Chains A and B, each alone.
Chain A
Amino acid sequence: MSIMQYNGSAIVAMAGKDCVAIAADKRLGQRALTVDTDFQKVFPITDRTYVGLPGLATDVKTLYDRFRMRVNLYKHREERTIEPKTFSHLVSHMLYERRFGPYFVEPIIAGLDKNDKPYICGMDLIGCLDFAKDFIVGGTASDNLYGMCESLWEPDLGPNDLFETISQALLAAVDRDALSGWGAVVHIITPEGVITRDIKGRMD
């Protein structure tokens, strides 16, 4: 079993009409054993930008703390909040700095820029950026998520429809992956604010 599969995760981000959504499962495992069913993998970076971190749990926690520090420093120096696109480039650079001893996470970023335009992107564990217009997937259930998103996603979904779509995609994907699931959380980021929902899923 590879190191990226040790803890297990499933994270997906989707772009809609003037909104983005990012969702993740809540399992923390150690190979077959499920240790926690309430493990946070999606973190707020600013009020309008969220980052999802699938992969090795220790690196998830460490990287989030490092991001927090860099974003706070950015805010002090620039006297403004960081844009999602700029944040992605920051993350990419931070990962490539560890090119020969990488962090075992493949971050997914979702947010709204200063003009309320939706922005999503993903990257591999050494920082290769993937700017998609539709959806980004990651984690042990990523193959399943690709299939679900490809079938269910359509452009210009409003917040309610986007919530339905991303929830169905995530739930169906994790129900076919032994290492992810055990609960899920969805964040919908709109210009008016962020809506966070826990979804009722299978706990097996």
Chain B
Amino acid sequence: MNRLAEQLAANDMSEFGLHNNNDSAAIAGPSFQLAAGSNPAAFAHHFIDAKSEKDSLIKIAHGTTTLAFKFKDGVIVATDSRATAGNVIASQTVKKVIEINPYLLGTMAGGAADCSFWERVLGMECRLYELRNKKRISVAAASKMLANLVYRYKGMGLSMGTMVAGWDEKGPGLYYVDSEGQRIANDLFSVGSGSTYAYGILDSHYRYDMEVEEALDVARRAIYHATHRDAYSGGIVRMYWVRETGWEAFPLEDVGQLYYRYHPEIQLTNSAESPLTVAPLA
């Protein structure tokens, strides 16, 4: 089975003096058995519904809302924790921040299995890099490894929109990588079905010069607003701060309670907390 990248790439670089060492060529990643037949990708698409469009097909677990931004003291990464399979909420406690190693974080948006699996493969390759080169991998190189890994499967139905955040020699690093082959660097990203709502909050309040407490508050509010408006986001807010010494996780916050915390003025009419009294017939 010829993968797209192999069909297009010229593999022989020996005329340029570059030989196929283990650590310089494209990393192959694990190999997969494909369905017998001329078009395994179409076979998979026929039975698996990756976009929650048809009720009859197998549903893949999806998220989500994730965001990450650089600021003067590092990178803040925040996500919700809901996974949906079609319209069913499969879980409210998913870990969408994947700890690749103590100084690199990846986020999960799109297909949950795709993100978890490939970011774990990325973690393995980053460790091999460290062993071979006796130094930590840069965020740019790590994100490029991930992008190249999934590019081989372009068009076959992988669904992954991830942000790779870390701290390397150049300072805080943040890249967006997806299964379509995009890999871009920027100071601020939000990915997932709730990303548009998160961008609204982020674009209004983000500044590079924020202090940590303010940055965490902006991230928390952005995730909260996305979970409120987006049906496919919810659960708890997970936040991480990537600093020079590595990443640091923060206590979880339940979005269900955040609503009432941000709206203390909401008084429910005839709230269920008051004793049951009978209203007279008009």
Chain A interface (Cβ < 8 Å from any Cβ of B) = 1-2, 5, 8, 29, 31-34, 47, 140, 159-160, 163, 167, 175-179, 186, 188, 190, 192-204
Residue of B nearest to A27 (CB): B231
Residues from chain A with Cβ under 8 Å of B268 in the complex: 198-200
The answer to whether B276 and A167 touch across the interface, beta carbons within 8 angstroms, is no
The answer to whether A5 and B87 touch across the interface, beta carbons within 8 angstroms, is yes
CA distance A57 to B260 in the complex (A): 27
6 more A-B residue pairs beyond the given contacts A178-B88, A194-B279, with a C-beta to C-beta distance below 8 A: A29-B231, A32-B232, A192-B278, A203-B228, A204-B234, A204-B256
Q: Which residues in chain B, 147-161, are within 8 Å of chain A measured between CB atoms?
A: none
The yes or no answer to B84 lying at the interface (CB within 8 A) is yes
The answer to whether B279 and A203 touch across the interface, beta carbons within 8 angstroms, is no
* Contacts known (A196-B270, A204-B234); A177 close to B228, Cβ less than 8 A: no
Q: List 13 A-B contacts (CB under 8 A).
A: A1-B87, A32-B231, A32-B232, A33-B230, A33-B231, A34-B231, A179-B87, A192-B278, A193-B278, A195-B270, A196-B270, A197-B270, A204-B233
CA distance A175 to B88 in the complex (A): 9
The answer to whether A167 and B228 touch across the interface, beta carbons within 8 angstroms, is no
Residues from chain B with Cβ under 8 Å of A5 in the complex: 87
Residue of B nearest to A33 (CB): B229
CA distance A163 to B271 in the complex (A): 13
| Nearest CB of A to B153, in Å | 26
The answer to whether A32 and B193 touch across the interface, beta carbons within 8 angstroms, is yes
The answer to whether A200 and B270 touch across the interface, beta carbons within 8 angstroms, is no
Instruction: Pick the residue among A31, A176, A198, A201 that contacts B88 (CB under 8 A).
Output: A176
The answer to whether B87 and A140 touch across the interface, beta carbons within 8 angstroms, is yes
Residue of A nearest to B228 (CB): A203
Q: Which residues in chain B, 256-282, are within 8 Å of chain A measured between CB atoms?
A: 256, 259-260, 268-273, 276-282
Instruction: Pick the residue among B230, B272, B276, B278 that contacts A34 (CB under 8 A).
Output: B230
CA distance A47 to B164 in the complex (A): 59
Instruction: Pick the residue among B92, B193, B272 that contacts A197 (CB under 8 A).
Output: B272
Shortest 6 CB-CB contacts between residues of A and residues of B: A204-B234, A202-B256, A203-B259, A204-B227, A198-B268, A178-B231
The answer to whether B278 and A178 touch across the interface, beta carbons within 8 angstroms, is no
- Mark contacts of B45-76 with chain A using CB atoms, 8 A cut-off: 1 yes-contact digit, 0 otherwise: 00000001101000000000000000000000
Residues from chain A with Cβ under 8 Å of B87 in the complex: 1, 5, 140, 177-179
The answer to whether A204 and B228 touch across the interface, beta carbons within 8 angstroms, is yes
| Nearest CB of B to A167, in Å | 7
Residues from chain A with Cβ under 8 Å of B281 in the complex: 47, 192-194
Residues from chain B with Cβ under 8 Å of A197 in the complex: 270-272, 276
The yes or no answer to B106 lying at the interface (CB within 8 A) is no
* Contacts known (A1-B53, A47-B281, A194-B279); A179 close to B269, Cβ less than 8 A: no
| Nearest CB of B to A80, in Å | 16
The answer to whether B229 and A195 touch across the interface, beta carbons within 8 angstroms, is no
CA distance A31 to B86 in the complex (A): 12
The yes or no answer to B89 lying at the interface (CB within 8 A) is yes
The yes or no answer to B166 lying at the interface (CB within 8 A) is no
Residues from chain A with Cβ under 8 Å of B256 in the complex: 201-204
Q: Which of A32, A192, A195 is most buried by chain B, counting CB atoms within 10 A of its CB?
A: A32
Residues from chain B with Cβ under 8 Å of A188 in the complex: 276
* Contacts known (A1-B53, A197-B271); A34 close to B228, Cβ less than 8 A: yes
Residues from chain A with Cβ under 8 Å of B279 in the complex: 193-196
Residues from chain A with Cβ under 8 Å of B82 in the complex: 178, 204
The yes or no answer to B255 lying at the interface (CB within 8 A) is yes
CA distance A51 to B218 in the complex (A): 43
The answer to whether A200 and B260 touch across the interface, beta carbons within 8 angstroms, is yes
The yes or no answer to B173 lying at the interface (CB within 8 A) is no
Residues from chain A with Cβ under 8 Å of B255 in the complex: 202-204
- Mark contacts of B8-28 with chain A using CB atoms, 8 A cut-off: 1 yes-contact digit, 0 otherwise: 000000000000000000000
| Nearest CB of A to B276, in Å | 6
